[in-house]
A and B are shown apart, each in its own frame.
Chain A
Amino acid sequence: DVVLTQTPPTLSATIGQSVSISCRSSQSLLDSDGDTYLNWLLQRPGQSPQLLIYSVSNLESGVPNRFSGSGSETDFTLKISGVEAEDLGVYYCMQATHAPLTFGSGTKLEIK
């Protein structure tokens, strides 16, 4: 199975600060169809996960553009440009290139 390693496990940020979360894959996530199926999800406290970014860098509809994704093959990054209070929660990367689908272990974002 593909292992996704997220760092850091915990992140503390002030409002307005920019932060980045890394997701490294044990295998290339480049699919044979040329796309890379690496997604980012946010799970706010007590809520279901919600989709932020799909296919590395595509912003899901309704998601603020302070969120951005980048990367390729095995190294991926989620950046939040100007953290807001509502951004607290646990961020997960998820890959859908290889079966079974797998998730990273999560990065908890705390607001100082």
Chain B
Amino acid sequence: QVQLKESGPGLVQPSQTLSLTCTVSGFSLTSYHVHWVRQPPGKGLEWMGVMWSDGDTSYNSALKSRLSISRDTSKSQVFLKMSSLQTEDTATYYCARDRAEIPTFDYWGQGVMVTVSS
């Protein structure tokens, strides 16, 4: 069955770089797109960026200067790196599968909570 699972550090210091991994199963990264979405505590959802099935990427312009998304198809993993973290980057980070032919998020990971604090 389709699964996505985020992993990474729960605590990051201000100004440091966040590295997260989304490990997927039940589908191929070369057939589906994978997005990153984040949610600050008690707030709404923010789209961060996407790893397209062809290996290309797109980013939210508000985060583009700090964000990088990559993948390892052999390991079925998509990576997120975001630099210069600040307290306002404290959030739950989700990866989600995009159905591709109809852009929508049909499967989501459980999310990983990241706190930015010294």
Contacts from A to B (Cβ < 8 Å) = 35, 37, 39, 41, 48-51, 54-55, 60, 92, 94, 96, 99-106
Contact = CB atoms under 8 A, between A and B. Distances in A.
B52 to A, nearest CB: 12
Nearest to B105: A51
Interface string B94-118: 1010010011111011110000000
Given A39-B104, A55-B102, A48 B109 contact: yes
Nearest to A60: B106
For chain A, what secondary structure do more than half of its interface residues adopt (helix, strand, loop), or is it mixed?
loop
A40 to B, nearest CB: 10
Range of interface residues on chain B?
20 to 34
Contacts of B110: 48
B31 interface: no
A94 B45 CA distance: 9
Contact of A100 (B60, B94, B105): B60
For chain B, what secondary structure do more than half of its interface residues adopt (helix, strand, loop), or is it mixed?
loop
Contact of B46 (A41, A96, A103): A103
B45 A51 contact: no
B104 A105 contact: no
B104 A49 contact: no
A48 B94 CA distance: 8
Interface in B59-118: 60-61, 94, 96, 99, 102-106, 108-111
Given A49-B105, A54-B102, A100-B60, A92 B44 contact: yes
B105 A41 contact: yes
Nearest to A58: B102
A105 B106 CA distance: 20
Nearest to B58: A99
Contacts of B106: 51, 54, 60
20 contacts: A39-B105, A41-B105, A48-B94, A48-B109, A48-B110, A49-B45, A49-B94, A49-B96, A51-B104, A51-B105, A54-B99, A92-B45, A94-B45, A100-B47, A100-B60, A101-B35, A101-B103, A102-B47, A103-B44, A105-B44
